[in-house]
Amino acid sequence: MLKFNSFRGGIHPPDSKITASKAIEKAKLPASVTILLHQHVGAPCKPLVKEGDGVKAGQKIGDSDSFVSAPVHSSISGVVKEISTQQSPIGREVQGIIIESDGRDESAKMEAIDPATASKREILARIREAGIVGLGGAAFPTSVKLSPPEGKKIDTVILNGSECEPYITADHRLMLEQPDKIVKGMKIIMNVLDVDKGFIGIEDNKKDAIKRMREAVEREGGKRIEIISLRTKYPQGEAGSLIKTLLNRETPSGSHSYDIGVLVQNVATAKAIHDAVYECIPLIERVVTVTGDVKEPKNLLTRIGTPFYDLIEECGGSKGDVGKIVCGGSMLGVAEFGNVPTIKSSSCILVLDREKSRIPEERTCVSCGMCVYVCPTGLMATILGKLARERRFEECMDYHILDCMECGSCAYVCPSKIPLVQLIRYGKEEIKRRE
């Protein structure tokens, strides 16, 4: 296998992995959860329950007829108290189902299937029925991703164990504590796609995870799967960066990785696939890193829909005066306005004190070119930011604004503290809205 050193550009922010040595703990059963009906790419779900209904953990409570969607399930047993508009951690208002716990935590598993004899169609149906989406942050429905368009042949599967975002250690701990389930989940992905070669990329600052995953591959994966130690650099975990590093293939502008024969999934997604196929458990919980300025940072196995504040309190509460609560890491995270519920893509809750939350004063661009130098996609961020600010959106397209992955590397290195990511994101949203 031809392995390349790295992708172009990138940065080296402090990793701040203060929970790397903290084993996963099971979070307390929440008194209530809010299950949002739109926590994935694609069409929102419609409720399958009404106020006053009793539900069990694992029971499907929302679904859609759309191909690009994923059902949602109750993560606790209890009573549906309310169906109303709620604030999502990703900054939109969506319908949500509020369930009050009965304390019994009764569960409803899916019907058992035999992984050894089940057809590809049955496996895909199980993955969809379990509500599995990409758990690395994109939240794209996994059953759709595993169904590439007619004529698109996948020859390589890459499992992303980079976890390059500062602060987050959820995937790291999962690779240390449940490596066999991850490998079994990857084998299911490869079998569905008829792929004989797979790679699991892990940054070299996680040597313990590399060792554990290699041992798991020897037990479960055979010669089809190879663990690759990657040079630690942000944003190594972005799909295009990972493909370039491992295979030296570049995804053309405006296309998808399946156009070059590659499919990338997250290690946590592979583990969720294992749970759905082997243990008949839908996606009702995930590991969430709660870190930053809290008294006892932890990695918590959390029921979907648990309020952020519950998890912060489980970590002893905040230290000092809270300036910002972020869903995600310090580079890609979204600042929250209130006590929002965890969703399937919530990998981290980052608490920052007031000093760390201070927004620096913006100054005039000094034309240093650092933003261009570090951009993994080779974009001219300083020009894109200027054009977006001036609402010159057609010219933004000339500079390939839609190819921006919004990794934040440009804003991180900018000596003038120009909010380049926010400006580019604004430009992209305006372009999509007008289209």
Distance spanning both ends of the chain, measured CA to CA? 42
Is pLDDT at 5 greater than 70 in this prediction? no
Instruction: Name the pLDDT band for 12 (thresholds 50, 70, 90).
Output: very high
Judgement on whether residues 132 and 269 belong to the same structural domain of the protein: yes
- Asked if residue 383 belongs to a domain, the reply is yes
Judgement on whether residues 268 and 413 belong to the same structural domain of the protein: no
Provide the whole-model pTM.
0.95
- Asked if residue 158 belongs to a domain, the reply is yes
- Asked if residue 52 belongs to a domain, the reply is no
Is pLDDT at 2 greater than 50 in this prediction? no
Please tell me the total count of domains within the chain.
Answer: 2
**CA distance linking residue 366 with residue 360, whole number of Å:** 16
- Alpha-carbon separation of residue 277 from 67, 145, 170, 319, 396 (angstroms): 20, 17, 22, 41, 45
Residues 6+ apart with CB under 8 A from 238: 376, 405, 407
Q: Which of 252, 278, 304 is the last residue of a domain?
A: 278
**CA distance linking residue 253 with residue 236, whole number of Å:** 19
- Tens digit of each residue's pLDDT (9 = 90 or more) over 22-45: 999 999 999 999 999 999 999 999
- Tens digit of each residue's pLDDT (9 = 90 or more) over 200-209: 999 999 999 9
Q: Which of 278, 296, 330 is the last residue of a domain?
A: 278
Instruction: Name the pLDDT band for 1 (thresholds 50, 70, 90).
Output: very low
Nearest to 240 by CA among 378, 343, 145: 378
- Asked if residue 312 belongs to a domain, the reply is no
**CA distance linking residue 54 with residue 24, whole number of Å:** 30
- CATH code, domain carrying 164: 3.40.50.11540
Judgement on whether residues 152 and 254 belong to the same structural domain of the protein: yes
Judgement on whether residues 271 and 406 belong to the same structural domain of the protein: no
Judgement on whether residues 376 and 272 belong to the same structural domain of the protein: no
Nearest to 237 by CA among 118, 408, 104, 88: 408
- Asked if residue 20 belongs to a domain, the reply is no
- Strands (DSSP E) found in 2-44: 24-26, 32-36
* Adjacent-strand bridge partners of 307: 341
Mean pLDDT across 57-68:
97
Judgement on whether residues 267 and 143 belong to the same structural domain of the protein: yes
- Asked if residue 180 belongs to a domain, the reply is yes
- Tens digit of each residue's pLDDT (9 = 90 or more) over 230-273: 999 999 999 999 999 999 998 888 788 999 999 999 999 999 99
Q: Which of 278, 296, 329 is the last residue of a domain?
A: 278
Residues 6+ apart with CB under 8 A from 250: 240, 243, 244, 260
- Tens digit of each residue's pLDDT (9 = 90 or more) over 185-195: 999 999 999 99
Instruction: Name the pLDDT band for 223 (thresholds 50, 70, 90).
Output: confident
- Asked if residue 130 belongs to a domain, the reply is yes
Judgement on whether residues 126 and 268 belong to the same structural domain of the protein: yes
Is there a cis peptide before residue 235, judged by omega within 30 degrees of 0?
A: yes
Q: Which domain holds residue 193?
A: 120-278
**177 backbone φψ class: left, alpha, beta (φ>0; ψ -120 to 50):** alpha
- Asked if residue 301 belongs to a domain, the reply is no
Judgement on whether residues 242 and 374 belong to the same structural domain of the protein: no
